[in-house]
A and B are shown apart, each in its own frame.
Chain A
Amino acid sequence: MPHLLEIRDLHKSFGQTEVLKGVDCAMEQGDVVCVIGSSGSGKTTMLRCINMLEDFEGGTIAIDGQQIGYETQRSQRKRRREREIARQRALTGMVFQQFNLFPHMTALANITLGLIKVKKMRREEANATAERWLDRVGLLERKGRFPGQLSGGQQQRVAIARAIAMNPKLMLFDEVTSALDPELVNEVLQVIKDLARDGMTMLLVTHEMRFAYEVSKRVIFMNEGRIGEEGDPKQMFLKPKTERLAEFLKSSSFH
């Protein structure tokens, strides 16, 4: 059985600066993994490579054994065709810090767009699926609202529903509460906790240490483009092995 997600020796540079310097990581179905680390350590970049929002120069990423973004033909590494990459992107669902809902569409239409155009669902079926997920995030009665008519927390919950309605194998969350007012953070974290309990496979970048501690099965500490330390949250937060992690935890708000 292949791993659900397997990253091997991932390298990524922006121009001259190498941002990811050989990242290895594996996840199994149902895993909830939190990525922590200081600003600029490459957490976002790693997530963006997984769904090919960024190209990468070295290493491989595979989901369910399927190599993402590139294929190797006669030991030649070749970028896949755009259409194929688009199809592979639907294997993962991504939730962004800035929500990125489509402002000209209602909450419902934001969710059905992918279902109809990518999953080729009929409209009634897409509507039913979208309504089921809106209900799950507690926003069914807001389905006709436009993003501009929703609070930040509500927008982020719609964005989560939009990603997860596509039935991805893996959900990627990039600091999805950092743009929210403090009083709106919990409603979003609660939705994510519910998804974790239901067995959704998730990879989350977060600055919410308490949340990472509570929700994750494993924590990855990114440090300067490498995985500095990883392990179960209890051990990581209470007995960090490396000096860098200890320092990082001291400077962050985890107590």
Chain B
Amino acid sequence: MDLAQFFDILWSVRWPILSGIGVTALVSALAIIAGSFVGVFVGLALTYGVLPLRWLARVYTDFIRGTPVLVLVLASFYILGTIGLQLSAFQAGVLALAVFCSSHVGEIVRGALQAIPRGQTEAAKAIGLTFSQTFSYVLMPQAGRQIAPAWVNTAAEIVKASTLLSIIGVAELLLATQEVIARTFMSLPFYFHAGFLYFCINFSIERLGKYVEKKLAIPQS
């Protein structure tokens, strides 16, 4: 079989593949956005929360981080149903990935905030800033720069983890590819093709992260 033949077939299945890419991108983007949003609050609770809240956040992050993503996906699809909260496969998938993302972002945010020297908070207090002002103008801008690389890693992990949604029937890129393979019997080239697409997505995320990191860098000497 030559390449031209593969491209012919690829062209004929372009719509299911494109839709798979779209679903992968949408699921990942939703999970990353929601997960990061919640994750910032988890990180704040881990760092500054009063004791019971901090403890709760700690249990949440450790529990989620210690659970395989596949288990999270299956749990949010099957177990939530048994307690009367039946989500569609798509919703359950986004929820599982968002929860996974939030625990990682929470830990990243906590690490970044705690890495800021105590003198920064004290200097801010000394000029009379309140805690929320200190957080917005002194701590968050510094933590944000620290977070960027680790956050990009997490985003790439989410894209990879989105393949697990194929198991509960979300027609993301992997499942779309598998359906194409079932029709065309060309498993090797299509798996390569899917792998290449994932690589492209994550490579772009990484480049974007590098770009943002450079943009935000504080001039030294």
| Chain A residues packing against B (C-beta within 8 Å) | 51-53, 82-83, 86-87, 89-90, 92-94, 96, 98, 100-104, 113-114, 117-118, 146, 148-149, 159, 162-163, 166
Q: Is the CB of B120 within 8 A of A100?
A: yes
CB-CB under 8 A for A118 and B129, given A96-B122, A102-B123: yes
Q: Which residues of A contact B66 (CB under 8 A)?
A: none
Q: Is the CB of B120 within 8 A of A86?
A: no
Q: Which residues of A contact B128 (CB under 8 A)?
A: 86-87, 89-90, 114, 118, 166
Q: Is the CB of B127 within 8 A of A89?
A: yes
Nearest residue (CB) in B for A51 is: B126
Q: Is the CB of A82 within 8 A of B122?
A: no
Please name 28 pairs of A and B residues whose Cβ atoms are closer than 8 Å in the assembled complex, sorted by A. A51-B125, A52-B125, A53-B125, A82-B130, A83-B130, A86-B125, A86-B128, A89-B125, A89-B126, A92-B126, A93-B126, A94-B123, A94-B126, A96-B123, A98-B117, A100-B117, A102-B123, A102-B124, A113-B127, A113-B129, A117-B133, A118-B129, A146-B218, A146-B219, A146-B220, A148-B218, A148-B219, A163-B126
Q: Is the CB of B123 within 8 A of A149?
A: no
4 further A-B contacts with Cβ under 8 Å, apart from A102-B124, A104-B141, A117-B133, are: A51-B126, A90-B128, A98-B119, A166-B128
Which one, B127, B142, B220, contacts A118 given CB within 8 A?
Answer: B127
Q: Is the CB of A163 within 8 A of B218?
A: no
Q: Does B145 belong to the interface (CB within 8 Å)?
A: yes
Q: Which residues of A contact B145 (CB under 8 A)?
A: 104
Q: Is the CB of B127 within 8 A of A166?
A: yes
Q: Is the CB of A104 within 8 A of B129?
A: no
Q: Which residues of B contact A86 (CB under 8 A)?
A: 125, 128-130
Least Cβ–Cβ distance between A66 and chain B, in angstroms: 14
Q: Is the CB of B219 within 8 A of A96?
A: no
Nearest residue (CB) in B for A83 is: B130
Q: Which residues of A contact B141 (CB under 8 A)?
A: 104
Q: Which residues of A contact B122 (CB under 8 A)?
A: 53, 94, 96, 100
A243 to B123, CA, bound (A): 37
Least Cβ–Cβ distance between B88 and chain A, in angstroms: 43
A92 to B122, CA, bound (A): 13
Q: Is the CB of A53 within 8 A of B126?
A: yes
Least Cβ–Cβ distance between B118 and chain A, in angstroms: 9
Interface size class of B (residues with CB under 8 A): 20 to 34
Q: Which residues of B contact A83 (CB under 8 A)?
A: 130
Which one, A82, A93, A104, contacts B218 given CB within 8 A?
Answer: A104
Least Cβ–Cβ distance between B134 and chain A, in angstroms: 9
Q: Is the CB of B219 within 8 A of A149?
A: yes
Q: Which residues of A contact B38 (CB under 8 A)?
A: none
Q: Is the CB of B220 within 8 A of A149?
A: yes
Least Cβ–Cβ distance between B93 and chain A, in angstroms: 38
Q: Which residues of B contact A117 (CB under 8 A)?
A: 129, 133, 137
CB-CB under 8 A for A148 and B220, given A96-B119, A98-B119, A113-B137: yes
Q: Does B138 belong to the interface (CB within 8 Å)?
A: yes
Which one, B123, B129, B133, B219, contacts A100 given CB within 8 A?
Answer: B123
Of residues 177 through 221 on chain B, the ones whose CB sits less than 8 Å from some CB of chain A are: 218-221
Of B123, B124, B138, B220, chain A has the most CB atoms within 10 Å of the CB of B123
A100 to B126, CA, bound (A): 11
Q: Which residues of A contact B219 (CB under 8 A)?
A: 146, 148-149
A103 to B120, CA, bound (A): 9
Nearest residue (CB) in B for A53 is: B122
A51 to B119, CA, bound (A): 14
A170 to B131, CA, bound (A): 23
Nearest 7 CB-CB pairings of A with B: A90-B128, A114-B127, A100-B123, A100-B119, A148-B220, A94-B126, A118-B128
Least Cβ–Cβ distance between B152 and chain A, in angstroms: 20
Least Cβ–Cβ distance between B112 and chain A, in angstroms: 13
